[in-house]
Amino acid sequence: MTYVKNFFIVIGLFLLSQISMTVFGIVKGFSLGRGETNLSLITSLILILITIGNIWLLLFLAKKLGFLTVKFDFFTGKNIGIIIGGYVLARIIAVGGTLLLNMQGSASTANDAAIQLMFKGENPLLILLLIGFSAPIMEEIVFRGGIIGFWLEQFPIVGIIVSSVVFGLIHGPTNVISFLIYGLMGLILSVVYYKTKRLELSISIHFLNNILAAIMLAFGLI
């Protein structure tokens, strides 16, 4: 019965984690419907506040549920090495997968293409917050902390598999290569979390993976 309860708690965490991005998508849709390409400054600022609130809510719930303890004692030489190594592996997968997609005639994954289309020209701070900070923090809370550290804590290998597969699927893969890109990146994050029991490490790797693309998108470099 506990597993069923915890499953629905994780589902609830996932739904809560989607609030800011969902609100952005709805507002963006209305904006485009009115013929406005980009959101106004006031709308962007409101979305920034909603996103900050959404991040705080997920952090609060993760701490309340007991699978997140934010302490800077994780910042050791060994953990820095794990973070850098995990990031490098993630980039190898991303670059290698993109090259394979290029060979098939696709410039990038459908998920990346959709993000570039939705956020192009928007407020740089909103882009950095949603893509560079919000996604790494909230996705790691749900997929690593929620699935591996909470719901399937007694079955970590099953948790790693479920977390990696679902992580791959929620990024909307349109072919096997794009699924493998996200699924394998999810696997790296899952193994790091399982081995260290520190969500801060998987969040850091995820952050490094997202922030460069967020900066390039925010300043019109892609």
The gap from C-alpha 27 to its chain's centroid, in whole angstroms, comes to 21
Map out the domains of the chain as residue ranges.
2-218
User: What pLDDT, on the 0 to 100 scale, is given for residue 183?
Assistant: 96
Q: What is the pTM of this model?
A: 0.93
pLDDT band per the 50, 70, 90 thresholds, residue 92: very high
* CB atoms closer than 10 angstroms to residue 44: 19
- Residue 21 predicted with pLDDT over 90: yes
pLDDT band per the 50, 70, 90 thresholds, residue 85: very high
Predicted confidence (pLDDT) per residue in 7-17, tens digit: 999 999 999 99
Higher pLDDT, residue 36 or 176: 176
Predicted confidence (pLDDT) per residue in 121-179, tens digit: 899 999 999 999 999 999 999 999 999 999 999 999 999 999 999 999 999 888 999 99
Cα–Cα distance for residue pair 188/150, rounded to 1 Å = 19
Determine the 3-state secondary structure of 37 from DSSP: coil
